[in-house]
Structure 1
Amino acid sequence: MTDLTLRLAKPEDIPALTVLMNAAIAELLTPFLPPEGVEASFEIMGLDSQLIADGTYFVVEDGGEIAGCGGWSRRATLFGGDHSAGRDAALLDPSRDAARVRAMYTHPDHVRKGVGRMVLAACEQAAAGEGFTRAEMAATMGGVPLYEACGYSLIEPFTAATSRGYDVPLARMGKALGAAPAR
């Protein structure tokens, strides 16, 4: 039995979130990518502290322990952490743009407990509350099954080039907010 609670992330959570994200990338991508792909993923993934500053980043705790995190954004950047190139802090227009679901991670010790679904639902509800009618994300191959189960559809596959010469496969996915998950 899990005791999941949801709250907004705080700046003081950043060290623990970084540890969680590193563990998730290192362990949960191994069924989907070769070792060099997992290693290259660290270059394009991680925490975007702008989400915490914007009040759009959530933490899920399981019995007081951080089990997962994720957020949404009203900014143009689709994916990447503070260290990633190509970020764009321009504000989106909810009447024409899709909110961005960003930086979703579950600690390997807490998978299959509903952590990701809890964060995703909170993101969708918050984005809809600010007038967004659609959400989009750049999903890792490990995240695609969850997002499909939650009603997201593939828009296009793409890759993110890294300085290591490895192109990390991603999937741009989207959903109309308020839509029921596909079964």
Structure 2
Amino acid sequence: MIGDVTSRLATLADLVALHDLMTAAIDRLQIGFLSHEQVLASRAIMGLDTQLIHDQTYFMVEEDGVLAGCGGWSRRATLYGGDHSASRDAALLDPLRDAARVRAMYTHPDFVRRGVGRRILDLCEKAAAAEGFARVELMATLSGQPLYVACGYRVIEPAAVDVDGVSVPLLRMGKYLRE
């Protein structure tokens, strides 16, 4: 049974809870999609970019006051990665030319298949559309791909990131918000 589900923007005071959820999601939800070595390596390329919190584009979904999931969107060039990622680019995107970015989507393993990810995607897509973006893109993990496909995203291109000799597969995906 699903309890009272709410959503709100994340604040810096939420960082510990967000990091705990992300760790659980990375470590438990990728089993069956990645090898143990790939799961460990993926920690180096995943995580929260706190610029999303500063930009007020990062959402939390809670059920009965318990953090069930989080995710956000960005009007900045970075496609994926957390604060520890060297390739972040804070340049602002042009909504008339560029796709907004859906970033750092995580569902707590105890809340999967309960609509949490869909709710966060809906919040992100509506916010990006309200700022004039016609498209969104994201970098999906293999475990996230089924959700994104179910929500209308299509693979743009496969990708892989090498972390100390371990290749972590990813999928660049996109969606038009309006025709």
TM-score normalised to structure 2 length: 0.98
Aligned match of 1:174: 174
What letter is aligned with 2:91? A
Distance in 1, Cα, partners of 2:178 & 2:13: 33
Post-superposition, which runs of at least 4 consecutive aligned residues in structure 1 deviate over 4 A? none
Tell me which residue corresponds to 1:103: 104
Distance in 1 between residues matched to 2:161 and 2:177, nearest whole Å: 26
Counterpart Cα distance in 1 of 2:178 and 2:110: 30
| Aligned equivalents of 2:7, 2:38: Cα separation in 1 | 31
- Give distance in 2, aligned partners of 1:178 and 1:18: 33
Q: How many residues align?
A: 178
Look up the SS of the partner of 2:61 in the other structure. Answer: strand
Amino acid aligned to 1:58: F
How far apart are the structure 1 equivalents of 2:10 and 2:92? 21
Deviation per CA, 1:38-87: give whole Å up to 9, x if none.
00000000011000000000000011000000000000000000001211
Q: Which residues of 2 match residues 113-128 of structure 1 at below 5 A?
A: 113-128=114-129
* Residue ranges of structure 1 left out of the alignment (5+ in a row): none
TM-score by length of 1: 0.96
Q: How far apart, CA to CA, are the structure 1 residues paired with 2:137 and 2:108?
A: 23
Task: After TM superposition, list the pairs within 5 Å mapping 1:1-183 onto structure 2.
Answer: 1-2=1-2, 3-162=4-163, 164-178=164-178
Whichever residue aligns with residue 64 of structure 2, its letter is G
Q: Percent identity?
A: 65
Query: What 5-or-longer segments of structure 2 have no aligned partner?
Result: none
In 1, Cα distance between the equivalents of 2:148 and 2:169?
16
